[in-house]
Structure 1
């Protein structure tokens, strides 16, 4: 696993998986459905030598939202240096600013076209 995507929307997860396969990056993404599940996955299954190279994080999720998850990741010595891209439908500048202050690498709006999805997949692969 090289990329961890944290998103509660199954369709968004499928779109990313399909896009990664389309750019010949099959089996590079692992998925978590919310922040709690992502942190559990990281804590239980990924020792320091096997952590993801990139985390793609949705903001609006149940149980633990993206902002809370980002705060937890950046306060943990084991995970604080992993780049986190916020991947959201939100275009709220306040949310973007808050995420950047918490340590997000960047903030990308989810795609509305297949071409945008492929472009995002290519951006994500640059972290590998």
Structure 2
């Protein structure tokens, strides 16, 4: 099997250990085929731009929190969408922020979807299943 035949990774950008664990458990229970790569702050997420430039596979989708240390998620989104090659990577804000100004700013910067994290684990599992189904199975992006 060549490297291109492997499912592309999902980049999860999350600093909260509880939310990170919840997300990983939800994907694990759904037996997600895509490998999960984790960045724990915005600066670490921006480091992926260099890695992708060096030839690492682009993610199928980026799940991005807004409230991150060092560089916030909206700044990460802005940098991604300003990059000619990486602007087409789907970005889903997966955040606890229900603030309308965050929502509007994210869409102004080119986010593909904005999901407020459910507090209930069962509902979160349903969200994870929908993310997997839509962004990793059904959605097609240019390569």
Q: Does 1:54 align with 2:61?
A: yes
**Alignment-derived partner of residue 5 in structure 2:** none
1:48–1:78: 8 Å Cα contact kept in structure 2? no
**Alignment-derived partner of residue 81 in structure 1:** 88
Q: Does 1:127 align with 2:135?
A: yes
Q: Does 1:12 align with 2:19?
A: yes
Q: Distance in 1 between matches of 2:129 and 2:65?
A: 18
**Alignment-derived partner of residue 43 in structure 2:** 36
Q: Which runs of 5+ in 2 are unaligned?
A: 1-7, 137-143
2:10–2:34: 8 Å Cα contact kept in structure 1? no
Range 77-86 or range 18-27, more displaced = 18-27
Shift of 1:41: 2.5
Larger Rg: 2
Q: Does 1:101 align with 2:108?
A: yes
Q: Which runs of 5+ in 1 are unaligned?
A: none
Of 104, 110, 115, which residue of structure 1 is paired with 2:122?
A: 115
Q: Distance in 2 between matches of 1:127 and 1:87?
A: 13
Runs ≥4 in structure 1, deviation > 3 angstroms?
Answer: 45-49
1:42–1:51: 8 Å Cα contact kept in structure 2? no
Describe the superposition over 1:74-95 as per-residue Cα deviations: whole angstroms up to 9, x where unpaired.
Answer: 0011210011111111111111
